[in-house]
Amino acid sequence: MKKFLAAVATFLLLAPMLGLVSIGVLVNPAVLNQGNCIASGVILGPIPDELEVTMKDGYTFTLNKQQLTHAGTIITTGSGIPGVGRDGILIALMAALTESTLRQLANTGTYPESGDYPNDGNGSDHDSLGLFQMRPQAGWGTVAELMDTTYQARAFYGGPDGPNHPSPRGLLDIPGWQQMDKGEAAQAVEVSAYSDRYQNYEPVAVTILDTLTSSSSGGNGVPGDTNIPETGRLVFPLPEGSYVHTSSFGPRVHPITGVPSFHAGTDWAAPDGTPIFALADGVVVYAGMVDGFSGQITLEHTIDGEKTATKYIHMWAHGIHVTAGDRVIAGQHIGDVGSSGHSTGPHLHFQVHPGGADQPPVDPEPWLAEHGVEGIDAPVGGGPGCTT
């Protein structure tokens, strides 16, 4: 108990720092997009010759191989940019579908030289070019740059390393884009006169992403799926600088009941609402409120050839952003820090289960260190951080 009281005192000393961190996260969204939020592991399978897709309004059409190849460029570009994740890739696909139907369009009426670059036809929307119909006069890039599909994808995603930073704004430059409706987020980048068009393409974007990555994903994406791809990268589950380590794996005095107990994971205190990232590529096998009061997400991965589960606990119900059966990629924003269940304050309780979710947990800290995950050496504090 003396150790626990000392830990509480330590946390109180650190509380002002946590407050400053929370303010920094609110003021500077780039904090959420640092190197531990890379959407790795998205590997394209063979591009089909065509793909039939259906929009939200029920309209069905067919995409050809060239259009799907451009979609592949958008997917692979987004998968290598910190902070994008699956949602960001879907938003980019929705934008390109809406603006050009995934065609790299020249505009010879305004820029005759644009026809000299590889293209899929000629557009005539003012001075817009390419997949995302970006305008040189608005500062998106030169004609030569915008006739490059990879450049256009990088420009759309934006962020500190984007070619146009800080203006025009790409997706990562939009504060709070992760909480927006995907169509609204696409509109925030495109600034279209027809802002309600993007939502109609969300089912199409999902179909494209699932189809083009399905051969590398394996399995059928349902709870209990054991055919999970070997992950390409492991990332720390919280943004750098946002958390304080408050409780380790193993025996301890339970901070709520005051009786000896075994702590099955590691706790990191962080401001309420701090994004939680998927450790690795995998499948969601559980997402919801355990016993109706403690928010939990369970993912299963293949790591070093072994089935491995990770658990993320204490989110509020509204802070769970995935559902059972979803496929996720390393660094994807899957939930938000909360304080549901047996908890003394906002924190992430994190568990690792080699062999799968039904196997015993191991100490996450040495496991993360052995697998080269950076971020576990945050200072140990006291205070919020308790799970049953």
DSSP string across 203-262:
HHHHHHHHHHHHHHH-S-SSTT----PBPS----SS-TTS-EEEE-SEEEE-TTT-SEEE
Is-contact 329 281, C-beta < 8 A? yes
**Residue 1 is assigned to a structural domain of this protein:** no
Asked, for residue 143, whether it belongs to a domain, the answer is yes
The mean pLDDT value for 304-326 works out to: 91
| pLDDT tens-place string over residues 292-313 | 778 999 999 999 889 999 999 9
183, 286: one domain? no
- Whether 84 and 129 share a structural domain: yes
φ, ψ at 363 (rounded to 5°): -65, 115
Same domain, 202 and 248: no
Task: Taking the CA atoms of 377, 338, 342 and 291 in sequence, report the sign of the dihedral they define.
Answer: negative
Which pLDDT belongs to residue 252?
79
Residue 102 in this model has a pLDDT that exceeds 70 = yes
Question: Which pLDDT score, from 0 to 100, does residue 365 have?
Answer: 94
Model-level pTM?
A: 0.54
Residues 131 and 86 in one domain: yes
Q: In whole angstroms, give the CA distance from residue 386 to residue 261.
A: 11
Q: Are residues 97 and 57 in the same domain?
A: yes
* Residue 118 contacts residue 148 (beta carbons within 8 Å): no
Measured CA to CA, the distance from residue 86 to residue 128 in angstroms comes to 27
In a domain, 252, yes or no: yes
Total number of domains constituting the chain: 2
pLDDT, average across residues 203-232: 64
Helix (H, G, I), strand (E, B) or coil at 362: strand
Query: Quick one: pLDDT band at residue 195, thresholds 50, 70, 90?
Result: low
* Mean predicted confidence (pLDDT) in 199-209: 95
Whether residue 207 is found in the same domain as residue 251: no
Residue 19 lies in a domain: no
Residue 5 confidence (pLDDT) above 70: no
| 311 and 183 in a common domain | no
Residues 132 and 277 in one domain: no
Residue carrying structure tokens 């626990």: 4
159 and 259 co-located in one domain: no
Give the pLDDT of residue 292: 72
The yes-or-no verdict on residue 15 having pLDDT over 80 is no
Higher pLDDT, 185 or 226: 185
- In this structure, of 2-6, 87-91, 172-176, 354-358, the range with the lowest mean pLDDT score is 2-6
- Section 242-266 average pLDDT: 85
Q: What is the CATH number of the domain that holds 313?
A: 2.70.70.10
Query: b or e along 93-117 (b: 16 or more beta carbons within 10 Å of the residue's beta carbon)?
Result: bbbbbbbbbbbbbbbeebbeebeeb
Beta bridge partners of 63: 51
> pLDDT per residue over 53-90, tens digit each?
999 999 999 999 999 999 999 998 988 787 788 889 99
Residues 89 and 178 in one domain: yes
Q: Where are the alpha helices (DSSP H) in the chain?
A: 2-27, 65-79, 85-100, 143-146, 149-157, 182-190, 202-217, 364-370
Residue 11 has pLDDT above 60, yes or no: no
Specify if 318 maps to a domain.
yes
Query: Would you state the pLDDT for residue 224?
Result: 37
Give the mean pLDDT of the chain: 82
- Residue 151 maps to a domain: yes
Q: CA-CA distance, 154 to 82, in Å (whole number)?
A: 12
Q: How far apart are the first and last CA of the chain?
A: 18
The domain in which residue 125 lies consists of 50-214
Query: Tens digit of pLDDT for each residue in 329-364?
Result: 889 999 999 999 888 899 999 999 999 888 899 999
The stretch 87-114 carries a mean pLDDT of 96
